[in-house]
Amino acid sequence: MFVPLCKPDYDNKDLKTIKRILDGGDVSHGKYVDIFEKKFSKLIGTKFAISLNSCTSGLYCVSKYLKDKNNYRDSANILVQSFTWNASVNTIVLAGLTPKFLDINTETLEVDLDEIKRKKDKNTVGIMIIHYAGRINKNIIEISNYCKKNKLHLIEDCAETLNTSLQKKVSGSFGYGIFSFYGTKNISTFEGGMITTNDKLFYHWCKKFIAHGVNKKIKKKYPWNRDAQIPGQNFRLSNLQSAIGINQLKNSHLFKKKRQLVANLYYKYLPQEHILFPIKLATNQNSLQMFPIFLKNNKIRNDLIIYLNSKNIGASVHFDPPVHKQGAFKYMNVSLKNTEEISSKIATLPISSKQTKSQTMFVINTIKKFFV
């Protein structure tokens, strides 16, 4: 038996969609981009949504816009946790801003407001919140209010939290939300991402920036005229991917329910004399994009992952080393006690809407055998 870390969930409708668009030839540009964006913004509850070729591109666009619009110096910093995938931090740097690392709570795996208050300084212009493993940050309302009071920009890395909410407000609607449609995420367009926002000026800037700086809304004397209004990038999501995204979005709640069935088995049968779970969240607060566990004995974490991999089980670790310990950022000489502790003992078990009960029980029984 083989159990991948995550398997994207496509069906015959997706295959028919691909064939229809391939036959039509409108693979790059087409009507499905706008449709996908409108359906997504409606789901999140924001005025606008902007589709892109990746979540990373979306994170970069937000930081780049804030830097250029406000003419911030390079010393201006964005507070961001180190317990994340390095793309979150890379995009801050590449946009010309400085990351300032936050520590996390060891039980919730998230940043709290007290840590933000400790780390904020005169150069802080924004906060990037990482909603880790599908778990919406339970402090996001407090953090959002704090940002408004202190005139700080709020960026939500929602790569893993589609269909999560807190007090009926959806992740990605508190600040600039950025989602991922990579193959391991709850819905997938192979690669892809989406920004959600209520900022009209940003929306129009971003639409130009991701399309080589060209404003499609400007009337042209000839259809071939392309007049770049700003220096831009090519970060667009294709018409083909957008059409798949529409299908995926329709099934997203079903996908989440199937992930919940996998999680329920893990909670029930994993050997809790050796394993701990992060604080369990309400169903609406967790997309279950990943299933993290803690090893009570962190010295055997690596051995467990290697053992599971040898049995064709795609277990992994998210995230070790944390970003502040990676080569690109070691020069900052930061110490984050909680982050370093969690990174040493956390592991990620396979979970997806395609994972069967027999596959899940195979993972559980294999873990039990490891501890015998």
Q: pLDDT (tens digit, 9 = 90+) per residue, 83-120?
A: 999 999 999 999 999 999 999 999 999 999 999 999 99
Q: Based on the fold, state whether residues 308 and 218 are members of the same structural domain.
A: no
Nearest alpha carbon to residue 166 among 195, 129, 192, 117: 129
Query: 137: exposed, middle or buried (C-beta count within 10 Å: 0-12, 13-18, 19+)?
Result: buried
221 within a domain of the structure (yes/no):
yes
Q: Based on the fold, state whether residues 122 and 75 are members of the same structural domain.
A: yes
320 within a domain of the structure (yes/no):
yes
Cα 323 to Cα 100: distance, rounded to the nearest angstrom: 11
**pTM exceeds 0.95, yes or no:** yes
What residue type is assigned to position 198 of the chain? N
Q: Based on the fold, state whether residues 236 and 110 are members of the same structural domain.
A: yes
Q: Based on the fold, state whether residues 121 and 173 are members of the same structural domain.
A: yes
Domain count, the chain: 2
CA 80 to chain centre: 14
- The answer, yes or no, to whether residue 217 has pLDDT greater than 90, is no
List b or e across 65-89, with b for residues whose CB sees 16 or more CB atoms inside 10 angstroms. bbbeeeebeeebbbbbbbbbbbbbb
Tens-digit pLDDT profile for residues 260-276:
999 999 999 999 999 99
Cα 121 to Cα 367: distance, rounded to the nearest angstrom: 45
Cα 342 to Cα 219: distance, rounded to the nearest angstrom: 55
Nearest alpha carbon to residue 288 among 322, 324, 262, 314: 262
278 within a domain of the structure (yes/no):
yes
Cα atoms in the Cβ-side hemisphere of radius 13 Å centred on 170: 19
Q: Based on the fold, state whether residues 136 and 82 are members of the same structural domain.
A: yes
- The answer, yes or no, to whether residue 286 has pLDDT greater than 80, is yes
Q: Based on the fold, state whether residues 365 and 296 are members of the same structural domain.
A: yes
pLDDT at residue 225, as a whole number: 85
Tens-digit pLDDT profile for residues 139-172:
999 999 999 999 999 999 999 999 999 999 999 9
DSSP secondary structure letter of residue 21: H
Q: Which of 209, 232, 248 is the last residue of a domain?
A: 248
Flag the least confident range among 117-126, 190-199, 212-221, 361-370: 212-221
Q: Which of 248, 266, 295 is the last residue of a domain?
A: 248
- The answer, yes or no, to whether residue 44 has pLDDT greater than 90, is yes
Enumerate residues 6+ apart whose C-beta is below 8 A from 51: 33, 36, 37, 40, 192, 193, 194, 236, 237, 242, 245
Q: Based on the fold, state whether residues 225 and 264 are members of the same structural domain.
A: no
Q: Based on the fold, state whether residues 77 and 220 are members of the same structural domain.
A: yes
Nearest alpha carbon to residue 281 among 162, 136, 146: 136
1 within a domain of the structure (yes/no):
no
pLDDT at residue 207, as a whole number: 97
Classify strands 346-349 and 291-295 as parallel, antiparallel or unpaired: antiparallel
Cα 103 to Cα 115: distance, rounded to the nearest angstrom: 7
Measured from the Cβ of residue 370, the count of other Cβ atoms closer than 10 Å reads 15
Q: Which of 248, 280, 299 is the last residue of a domain?
A: 248
**Residue 98 tokens, joined:** 């400085």
Q: What is the mean pLDDT of residues 306-320?
A: 98
270 within a domain of the structure (yes/no):
yes
Say if CB 145 and CB 118 are below 8 A apart: no
54 within a domain of the structure (yes/no):
yes
Say if CB 48 and CB 176 are below 8 A apart: no
- The answer, yes or no, to whether residue 220 has pLDDT greater than 80, is no
29 within a domain of the structure (yes/no):
yes
**Residue 357 tokens, joined:** 């009960």
CATH of residue 83's domain is 3.40.640.10
CATH of residue 328's domain is 3.90.1150.10
Say if CB 334 and CB 101 are below 8 A apart: yes
Q: Based on the fold, state whether residues 276 and 175 are members of the same structural domain.
A: no
Cα 257 to Cα 83: distance, rounded to the nearest angstrom: 27
Residue 214, strand partner residues: 228
Q: Based on the fold, state whether residues 170 and 280 are members of the same structural domain.
A: no
Q: At 243, is the pLDDT very low, low, confident or very high (cuts 50, 70, 90)? A: very high
Q: Based on the fold, state whether residues 291 and 233 are members of the same structural domain.
A: no
Q: Based on the fold, state whether residues 178 and 310 are members of the same structural domain.
A: no
User: By residue range, what is the domain housing residue 287?
Assistant: 252-371
7 within a domain of the structure (yes/no):
no
DSSP secondary structure letter of residue 236: P
